[in-house]
Structure 1
Amino acid sequence: MAPEDEKHTSFRKPIEIFCYTVMPFGLKNAGATYQRAMTHIFDDLIHQKVECYVDDLLVKSLGRNDHLKDIRIVFKRIRKFDLKMNPLKCAFGVSSGKFLGYVVRHRGIEIDPNKIKAITEMPPPRNLRQLRSLQGQLAFIRRFISNLSGRCQPFSKLMKKDVRFKWDAECQEAFDSIKRYLSNSPILAAPIPGKPLILYTAALEESLGALLTQNNEEGKQNALYYISRRLIGAESRYSPIEKHCLTLIFAVQKLCHYMLSYKITLISKIDPLKFLMTRPALTGRLARWAIFLLQFKIIYMSQKAVKGQALADFLAAHPIPADSPLNVDLPDEQIMQVEENERLPFWKMYFDGALSIRPVRPPNIARARVGIGLIFVAPDGGIMRFSFSLTEPRTNNEVEYEALLAGLEIAIDVRIQHFQIFGDYQLVINQVLGIYKIGKLELTHYHRRALELLKQVPNVKMARVPRGQNAKANCLAKLDKEMANINEERSIFIGVYTRRILEPALL
Structure 2
Amino acid sequence: LIDKPLKQVLAKPDTSGRLIKWSVELGEYDVKFESRPAIKSQVLADFVGDNTPTECMEENPSESEKGVWKLSVDGSSCLIGSGAGLVLTSPDGWTLEYALRFKFKVTNNEAEWEALIAGLTIAKHLEVQRIEASSDSQLVVGLANGEYEAREELMTKYLAHFQGIKSAFEVLRIVKVQRTENIRADQLSKLATTEELGKNQTVLVDYLE
- Normalising by structure 2, we get a TM-score of 0.67
1:285-342 CA-to-partner distances (Å, cap 9, x unmatched) read: xxxxx8xxxxxxxxxxxxxxxxxxxxxxxxxxxxxxxxxxxxxxxxxxxx8x653624
Distance change >3 Å, CA 343–CA 475, structure 1 → 2: closer
Partner residue of 1:494?
203
Cα drift, residue 499 of structure 1: 2.4
Aligned-pair identity in percent equals 27
Asked if the contact 2:57–2:64 (Cα under 8 Å) also holds between the matched residues in 1, the reply is: no
User: Does residue 1:344 correspond to 2:115, yes or no?
Assistant: no
Distance change >3 Å, CA 343–CA 495, structure 1 → 2: closer
Task: Mark the structure with the bigger radius of gyration.
Answer: 1
Asked if the contact 2:98–2:205 (Cα under 8 Å) also holds between the matched residues in 1, the reply is: yes
User: Does residue 1:418 correspond to 2:189, yes or no?
Assistant: no
Partner residue of 2:91?
379
Partner residue of 2:149?
437
Cα drift, residue 391 of structure 1: 2.3
1:436-490 CA-to-partner distances (Å, cap 9, x unmatched) read: 11121221110000111011111111110000010100110010678x9xxxxxx
Cα drift, residue 343 of structure 1: 5.3
Partner residue of 1:21?
none
Structure 1: give runs of 5+ residues left out of the alignment.
1-278, 283-289, 291-334, 359-368, 485-490, 501-507
| Separation (CA, whole Å) in 2 of partners of 1:371 and 1:434 | 25
SS in structure 2 of the partner of residue 435 of structure 1: coil
Distance change >3 Å, CA 419–CA 343, structure 1 → 2: closer
Distance change >3 Å, CA 432–CA 343, structure 1 → 2: closer
| Separation (CA, whole Å) in 1 of partners of 2:110 and 2:65 | 35
Partner residue of 1:354?
76
Q: Which amino acid aligns with 1:381?
A: G
| Separation (CA, whole Å) in 2 of partners of 1:414 and 1:499 | 20
Partner residue of 1:280?
51
Distance change >3 Å, CA 401–CA 468, structure 1 → 2: same
User: Does residue 1:406 correspond to 2:125, yes or no?
Assistant: no
Partner residue of 2:173?
461
Structure 2: give runs of 5+ residues left out of the alignment.
1-49
Partner residue of 1:56?
none
Q: Which amino acid aligns with 1:496?
A: V
How many residues get paired?
Answer: 154
| Separation (CA, whole Å) in 2 of partners of 1:480 and 1:345 | 30
| Separation (CA, whole Å) in 2 of partners of 1:400 and 1:438 | 15
Please give the root-mean-square deviation of Cα atoms over the aligned residues, in Å: 2.6
Cα drift, residue 408 of structure 1: 0.9
Asked if the contact 2:73–2:185 (Cα under 8 Å) also holds between the matched residues in 1, the reply is: yes
| Separation (CA, whole Å) in 1 of partners of 2:172 and 2:104 | 30
Partner residue of 2:22?
none
Higher relative contact order (CA 8 A, sep 6+): 2
Asked if the contact 2:68–2:132 (Cα under 8 Å) also holds between the matched residues in 1, the reply is: yes
| Separation (CA, whole Å) in 2 of partners of 1:370 and 1:423 | 17
Query: Which ranges of 4 or more aligned residues in structure 1 deviate by more than 6 Å?
Result: none
1:357-388 CA-to-partner distances (Å, cap 9, x unmatched) read: 14xxxxxxxxxx11100001111111100111
SS in structure 2 of the partner of residue 420 of structure 1: strand
| Separation (CA, whole Å) in 2 of partners of 1:409 and 1:426 | 21
1:70-116 CA-to-partner distances (Å, cap 9, x unmatched) read: xxxxxxxxxxxxxxxxxxxxxxxxxxxxxxxxxxxxxxxxxxxxxxx
| Separation (CA, whole Å) in 2 of partners of 1:343 and 1:456 | 18
| Separation (CA, whole Å) in 2 of partners of 1:455 and 1:339 | 18
Asked if the contact 2:85–2:192 (Cα under 8 Å) also holds between the matched residues in 1, the reply is: no
| Separation (CA, whole Å) in 1 of partners of 2:108 and 2:65 | 36
| Separation (CA, whole Å) in 2 of partners of 1:399 and 1:442 | 12
